[in-house]
């Protein structure tokens, strides 16, 4: 009964809004719906393209001007039943992304927690170093990093895919900004109660940082899932290819399998979509929380 009365009160308040505010709210909603439709158009076009053969895709490209009578499932059948490589690529990308996201969030949050909550002599220098690393393009680090990988004999291994990026500069910066907004009294209260430093981090601070963790999980998940250049440099065995590299092998000088490529590319959207849906309730809160402190 109380919930029903509360809903009626909210409805009455909305009806009591001035006409100008109601019009502004309606225009805002219409604008957001328009943006959503524009964003969905390419995805819908790609989905429709998965039912076309490669010849029509090359001639006319992906568009809505298609003949629905010519739709077929040959591309799905070939990719999912006659091509076992696709599922191997998909699995490699899936578990590598999961491992890299978890380890990156753990390591980067450790580093940022130390920068935000502890006082030490080189604190400002460490933070400036993080900012400098954020400004350096990966292409500049690619060659020396590749030489180190060869020196350590880690080439063509799964470990080398995520090991150099566990302390991610952007993630460290974001968590540092978020931890600055956490009341330091929580840390002091934990120490008074005899909680260890690790216990304070895991039991007191991390539960508060759920929005930041969710936001960074989505962003790091997208970067890991779409990572192409670095795996292309260090992976040599076809059974270790990740999905972006595997899909790229469908384009060869002897023939381009655009019909299989577009089906594989469309289904590669599914994990990122599920990841966003799982953490969307925290995403906006986490993205805006890090901007309140500098």
3-state secondary structure 53-96: CHHHHHHHCCCCCCCHHHCCCHHHHHHHHHCHHHHHHHHHHHHH
Enumerate helices (H) and strands (E) in the chain, giving the number of each.
16, 2
Question: Does residue 262 surpass a pLDDT of 60?
Answer: yes
Per-residue pLDDT, averaged over 63-69, amounts to: 64
Pairwise CA distance, residues 21 & 14, whole Å: 10
Give the per-residue pLDDT at 293. 46
Question: Does residue 55 surpass a pLDDT of 80?
Answer: no
Decide: 283 and 219 in contact? Cβ < 8 Å. Answer: no
Per-residue pLDDT, averaged over 93-107, amounts to: 92
Give the per-residue pLDDT at 95. 92
In a domain, residue 26? The reply is: no
253: pLDDT confidence band, cut at 50, 70 and 90?
low
Per-residue pLDDT, averaged over 129-136, amounts to: 89
Give the per-residue pLDDT at 67. 64
Per-residue pLDDT, averaged over 16-38, amounts to: 82
Per-residue pLDDT, averaged over 131-160, amounts to: 87
Question: Does residue 26 surpass a pLDDT of 60?
Answer: yes
Give the per-residue pLDDT at 51. 77
Q: Other CB atoms closer than 10 Å to residue 13's CB: what's the count?
A: 9
Give the per-residue pLDDT at 19. 75
| Alpha carbon distances (Å) from 83 to 75, 103, 134, 247, 273 | 11, 32, 40, 12, 24
Question: Does residue 159 surpass a pLDDT of 70?
Answer: yes
Give the per-residue pLDDT at 270. 84
Per-residue pLDDT, averaged over 31-41, amounts to: 87
More confident position, 67 or 107: 107
102: pLDDT confidence band, cut at 50, 70 and 90?
very high
Domain count, the chain: 1
In a domain, residue 244? The reply is: yes
Task: Tell me the CATH number at 168.
Answer: 1.10.3720.10
Decide: 112 and 175 in contact? Cβ < 8 Å. Answer: yes
Question: Does residue 10 surpass a pLDDT of 50?
Answer: no
Task: Name the percent of the chain lying above pLDDT 90.
Answer: 9
In a domain, residue 230? The reply is: yes
The closest alpha carbon to 97, from 225, 232, 5, 279, belongs to 225
Over residues 188-227, the pLDDT tens digits come to 888 888 888 888 888 888 888 888 888 888 889 889 998 8
Which residue range(s) make up the domain with 216? Answer: 77-289
Pairwise CA distance, residues 164 & 67, whole Å: 48
Report angle CA 217, 222, 227 to the nearest 5 degrees. Answer: 125
């Amino acid at each position: 009964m109380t919930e029903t009365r509360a809903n009626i009160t909210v409805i009455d308040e909305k009806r009591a809004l001035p006409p100008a505010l109601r019009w502004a709210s309606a225009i805002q909603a219409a604008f957001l719906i328009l943006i959503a439709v524009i964003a969905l158009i390419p995805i819908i076009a790609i989905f429709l393209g998965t039912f076309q053969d490669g010849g029509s895709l090359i001639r006319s490209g992906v568009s809505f001007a298609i003949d629905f009578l010519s739709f077929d499932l040959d591309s799905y059948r070939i990719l999912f039943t006659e091509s076992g490589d696709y599922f191997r690529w998909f699995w490699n990308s899936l578990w590598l992304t999961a491992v890299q996201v978890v380890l990156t969030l753990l390591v980067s949050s450790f580093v940022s927690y130390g920068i935000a909550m502890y006082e030490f002599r080189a604190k400002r220098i460490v933070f400036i170093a993080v900012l400098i690393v954020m400004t350096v393009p990966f292409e500049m680090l690619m060659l020396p990093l590749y030489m180190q990988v060869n020196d350590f004999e880690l080439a063509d291994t799964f470990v080398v895919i995520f090991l150099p990026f566990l302390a991610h500069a952007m993630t460290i910066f974001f968590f540092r900004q978020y931890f600055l907004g956490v009341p330091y009294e929580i840390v002091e209260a934990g120490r008074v109660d005899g909680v260890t430093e690790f216990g304070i981090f895991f039991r007191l601070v991390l539960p508060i940082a759920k929005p930041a963790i969710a936001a960074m999980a989505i962003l790091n998940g997208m970067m890991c899932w779409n990572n192409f250049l670095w795996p292309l440099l260090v992976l040599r065995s076809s059974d270790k290819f990740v999905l972006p590299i595997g899909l790229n092998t469908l384009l060869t000088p002897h023939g381009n399998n655009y019909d299989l490529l577009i089906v594989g590319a469309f289904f590669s959207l599914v994990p990122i979509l599920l990841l966003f849906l799982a953490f969307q309730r925290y995403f906006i809160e986490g993205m805006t929380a890090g901007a309140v402190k500098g």
